[in-house]
Structure 1
């Protein structure tokens, strides 16, 4: 799956399930980012952060500003 395909999933809960499911299968956070053709910093720019051995989602600040 590419980063664009991953971001096209329209539900952040499903995206987190994918990321954390891959971790449960033994993939590393960096290895998972490499599969997307990117790195963890870019995932963070899209709101996905690796914290305490799992991925979490935080709405990127630019999204909130664009909605106001």
Structure 2
């Protein structure tokens, strides 16, 4: 499930998800990331979208290990 607080912040800022040219790509933690989502993100960035990471952490400590965090 995508980060609900990120979705709420987007809505509160008056931003919307659209199916045409993307001006900015905002990335938060997504525990259900897929190749398709990454492909869409890469396409948007290569077509000029600004990339905004919500957090500078590269790793997320979890029970007994480290996992990729929200910034890539």
Give the alignment's TM-score, normalised by structure 1: 0.33
Give the alignment's TM-score, normalised by structure 2: 0.32
Q: Relative contact order (alpha carbons < 8 A, sep ≥ 6): 1 or 2 greater?
A: 2
User: Which structure carries more helix by proportion?
Assistant: 1
